[in-house]
Structure 1
Amino acid sequence: MAQCSKNQYRTSLPAPMFEKQDINMMSILKGCIGKDLSKITMPVHFNEPLSFLQRMVEYMEYSQLMRIAAEQTDPINRLKYIAAFAVSALACNWDRMGKPFNPLLGETYEIERPEFRCLCEQVSHHPPVSAFHAESPSFQFYGSIYPKIKFWGKSIEIQPKGTLTVKLPKWDETYSWNNPNCTIHNVIVGKLWMEQYGTIEIVNHQSGLKAILQFKATGSIHKDLHRVEGTILDGNKKKLFLYGRWTDVLKCTDYDSYEAYLKDNPNRFKRSDGSKSPNSESPAHTPRKVFSKLNSLKMSSFRSLSIQDNDVHDQPHDKSPEPETVEMNIPKSQSTYSIEIPNSETLWTVDPRPESSANYFSFTNFAMSLNELESHMTNLQSTDSRLRPDIRKLEHGDVEGAIIEKNRLEEKQRDTKKARKSKNGGNDDWKPRWFKIQHNSIMKQDDWVYAGGYWESH
């Protein structure tokens, strides 16, 4: 594997983020209501200069946590670091409101770093499915992502679909989980903010150990913003308490210490399932006048979506009062997490973002490097995301050029599909090159898995 220091990678993009142009969003959203946005060309002004395949690789920013897990002799300690990895994989989403480019069918992305190497491929276009496989001597991490996204008028609800799996070969252990839900609030007016919420269960399929993590729904309680709390269970026995925020830190302590702390500080933690965001506007709470505001809406007051493809729903006939816009004092940067339970251990802390991050789509240092063409990359596959001219032009601040190239690539993809179906009597027999469907006997489901041969091909 490549042996490069992270300091050798670039820490900014070739050009600052482009100025948002005024766009009458009603002309776009009118045609989107009730439709699948994967079939609609969205303006480049929504995008950040990364493909969704590259955005998916951001799960790996703190991949060392999987290596540390593999080094533990105690299965409970292994699980706590796998849980920390699951939380850390979401930190890149904080303050990221740019929509990644939809991958083209068959598009790939490869990356090699000291801790791992990873391959992604767009294995399906309708529905959009992105598969990935990362590996190192210590672990394998793989899965496929196909999010379901709904537009409620004032918020975006993202329901991530797809199972994530970690294997630790040394211990012959397999862990799996699904990511929590996410809502982006105040899409139409007000201060844009994001929350992850819901309960995820990380299971060790060999030992039966579980880590149950609750991503707190914020509601009107500002102190719950970004909070994560959870427990590692050995059967029915609670072994460790996990706590922190998905934006910046995760800690753990023994359960007795947590219970003792709770007696003295009853208001620091509240017992709830965190399963639903109280601020998510369902169709029954999306009144007609939310959509009337779109007639005069400009791009400057509309925030782009941190998603790949979407389902848009609307029920404008509800007469219920419009919920008030939630104006929360959202921090501009991750601040120090103040709770410290006795006997705690810090499992993960976020790396600081570059000072110029706000000028570059709020990218982390890791994200800044993902579209970089490094000097040793002489044998990239022609399908690699780094070679997409629309992403490259947007990265250099050429918005008009990005629009032209994005439209050209999407039209070429449609023409290629038509030709393929015409050649095969109406059947689209396209198959991914590097991934295949395989039945997973442990989780009793079919998964996209790496078919092998990629790294040997060049």
Structure 2
Amino acid sequence: MKKKATRSNNSDNSREAPKPATTALIPKRQRRLIISPKPNYSLNLWGIMKNCIGKELSKIPMPVNFSEPLSMLQRITEDFEYASLLDEAAECEDSTEQLAYVTVFTISSYSTTINRTTKPFNPLLGETYECDRTDDLGWRSLAEQVSHHPPTAALCTEGKNWRLWQEFTMGSKFRGKYLQIIPTGIAHLVFEKSGNHYTWRKVTTTVHNIIVGKLWVDHHGEMDIKNHKTGDNCHLKYYPYSYFSRDKPRKVTGVVTDSSDAAKWVITGTWDTQMEIAQVLQVDESSKRPVFQTGPKRVLWTRVLPPPGSDKMYFFTQLAIQLNEPEDDVAPTDSRRRPDERLMEDGNWDEANRVKVQLEEKQRAKRKKMEAEAEDCLKRGEEPPCHRPMWFKREKDEITGEMIFKSTDKYWTCKENSEWTGCPDIYL
């Protein structure tokens, strides 16, 4: 059993980079600490939103005034703000304790949304995003927009002793007073040492006060994180905010059970502040609801507050500030190269809106051309062309039996060789 209690904080970039075998030191990359402040643009909100009620969010052409200068591919990469929890989980010898760490990791990803009411850019088909933080945070990630209808992003992240891949797709509806987002994709996580294989799906997110009042975000619903190798399971409940409830806002509770359904760990806390775990010592089942006698609570995760002035920088965390930092050697389809997003980050919103329309028109024209070609092929009895992702391939998962996009593991080799032949032309 893991004895040492630690608090996860992989936003701390003060750790020394690994030293090579020689005496020479590899210079540590200095990453940016700020971005341009958000301009103050007036906007007729109702004039734009009144025609959107009941429509799918991904199909609504939205000006950048509602957005933040990050693509959805970059936003889902933010899930790894506290990836050090997975590094700690990899060291756990007890599978149920490991599951407790994994569970807290899934909860920690919501903490970045507490004041983030702006919308990320919808990725263009074929858009990619890499995030290589091996030198300081110990992980690297690749995401690609692999489907347009339904909009689907595939992601694969590699740590030292773990590998996580997931599909992000969602249903969304604007109801007037609130916007509801229902994720439907699944996440897979495997630890190399134990071979433990976990899966889970995200809970529902609701953005309130769309038209009148101050926007605020809530996450609610139930989630199961399952270890398919051992049969361990954690059932989580995200409590919806209620004016009439005495519960602490943003409350999350869960119980880790083993393959025989015996409770092993209790998980409590709030998704925006901190999460604690406690080992179950005894269960009293004499009443209608079981009562757990537990050992001392252990803080597994505490949220790291955003840097000073974050309210002027879209409430970004330090990691979010660095996600769109320009890099020269990334793929030509990388979100960092997306011109409308870059213009928005630089504060040139009018030009960003103009370029955004051009990009969307280019994508729409390409899709219409492919649809026409497909129709001609069907008339001739031939197989119609379809979009094929560059770095992911759709396969049947051996554990769940479901189809999912998995990495072909070719991206990082191509990057080393600066070999980007075949990447689609999606920008201007």
> Do the two structures share a fold, i.e. TM-score over 0.5?
yes
Structure 2 CA distance for aligned equivalents of residues 65 and 121 of structure 1: 25
Q: How does 1:441-452 map to 2 (within 5 A)?
A: 441-452=398-409
What's the CA shift string for 1:357-393, capped at 9, x where partnerless?
10010111110000001xxx33211000000111111
Q: Is the 8 A contact 2:222 2:238 kept in 1?
A: yes
Q: How does 1:37-436 map to 2 (within 5 A)?
A: 37-114=57-134, 115-220=138-243, 221=245, 223-234=247-258, 235-256=260-281, 343-373=296-326, 377-424=327-374, 425=376, 427-436=384-393
Q: Is the 8 A contact 1:253 1:343 kept in 2?
A: yes
What's the CA shift string for 1:112-169, capped at 9, x where partnerless?
1131111000001121001100012300011011111122221111111111111001
Q: Which residue matches 2:32?
A: 10
What's the CA shift string for 1:339-363, capped at 9, x where partnerless?
xx86111111111211111001011
Instruction: Pick which of 188-197 and 91-100 moved more.
Output: 188-197
Q: Matched residues, percent identical?
A: 36
Question: What amino acid is aligned across from residue 44 of structure 1 in structure 2?
Answer: V
Cα 1:155–1:40, aligned 2, differ >3 Å: closer, same or farther? closer
Question: What amino acid is aligned across from residue 264 of structure 2 in structure 1?
Answer: K
Instruction: Pick which of 204-213 and 428-437 moved more.
Output: 428-437
Structure 1 CA distance for aligned equivalents of residues 115 and 183 of structure 2: 18
Cα distance, 1:428 vs. partner?
A: 4.8
Cα 1:441–1:448, aligned 2, differ >3 Å: closer, same or farther? same
Structure 1 CA distance for aligned equivalents of residues 42 and 352 of structure 2: 14
Cα distance, 1:40 vs. partner?
A: 3.0
Secondary structure of 1:111 counterpart: strand
Cα distance, 1:6 vs. partner?
A: 9.5
Q: Is the 8 A contact 1:195 1:225 kept in 2?
A: no
Question: What amino acid is aligned across from residue 276 of structure 2 in structure 1?
Answer: K
Question: What amino acid is aligned across from residue 356 of structure 2 in structure 1?
Answer: K
Q: Is the 8 A contact 2:53 2:176 kept in 1?
A: no
Question: What amino acid is aligned across from residue 178 of structure 2 in structure 1?
Answer: S
- RMSD of aligned Cα (Å): 2.4
Secondary structure of 2:65 counterpart: helix
Q: Is the 8 A contact 1:217 1:224 kept in 2?
A: no
Secondary structure of 2:70 counterpart: strand
Structure 2 CA distance for aligned equivalents of residues 138 and 421 of structure 1: 43
When normalised by structure 2's length, the TM-score is 0.83
Cα distance, 1:441 vs. partner?
A: 2.3
Q: Is the 8 A contact 1:118 1:132 kept in 2?
A: yes
What's the CA shift string for 1:204-226, capped at 9, x where partnerless?
00100111111112222264311
Instruction: Pick which of 412-421 and 45-54 moved more.
Output: 412-421
Cα 1:24–1:51, aligned 2, differ >3 Å: closer, same or farther? closer
Cα distance, 1:416 vs. partner?
A: 1.9
Q: Is the 8 A contact 2:55 2:174 kept in 1?
A: no
Secondary structure of 1:89 counterpart: helix
Cα 1:36–1:112, aligned 2, differ >3 Å: closer, same or farther? same
Secondary structure of 1:147 counterpart: strand
Question: What amino acid is aligned across from residue 355 of structure 1 in structure 2?
Answer: P
Question: What amino acid is aligned across from residue 228 of structure 2 in structure 1?
Answer: H
Q: Is the 8 A contact 2:83 2:105 kept in 1?
A: yes
Structure 1 CA distance for aligned equivalents of residues 227 and 148 of structure 2: 32
1:438 paired with 2:395, answer yes
Secondary structure of 2:89 counterpart: helix
What's the CA shift string for 1:160-219, capped at 9, x where partnerless?
111111100111110011111111222222232221111111100010011111111222
Structure 1 CA distance for aligned equivalents of residues 280 and 85 of structure 2: 22
Structure 2 CA distance for aligned equivalents of residues 451 and 205 of structure 1: 23
Cα distance, 1:30 vs. partner?
A: 3.7
Structure 2 CA distance for aligned equivalents of residues 207 and 5 of structure 1: 43
When normalised by structure 1's length, the TM-score is 0.77
Question: What amino acid is aligned across from residue 30 of structure 2 in structure 1?
Answer: Q
Secondary structure of 2:316 counterpart: coil
Structure 2 CA distance for aligned equivalents of residues 24 and 87 of structure 1: 32
Cα 1:180–1:36, aligned 2, differ >3 Å: closer, same or farther? closer
Q: Which residue matches 2:14?
A: none
Cα distance, 1:423 vs. partner?
A: 4.3
Cα distance, 1:257 vs. partner?
A: 8.1
Q: Is the 8 A contact 2:117 2:217 kept in 1?
A: no
Cα distance, 1:256 vs. partner?
A: 4.1
Cα distance, 1:103 vs. partner?
A: 0.4
Q: Which residue matches 2:49?
A: 29
Residue correspondences, number: 375
Question: What amino acid is aligned across from residue 22 of structure 1 in structure 2?
Answer: L
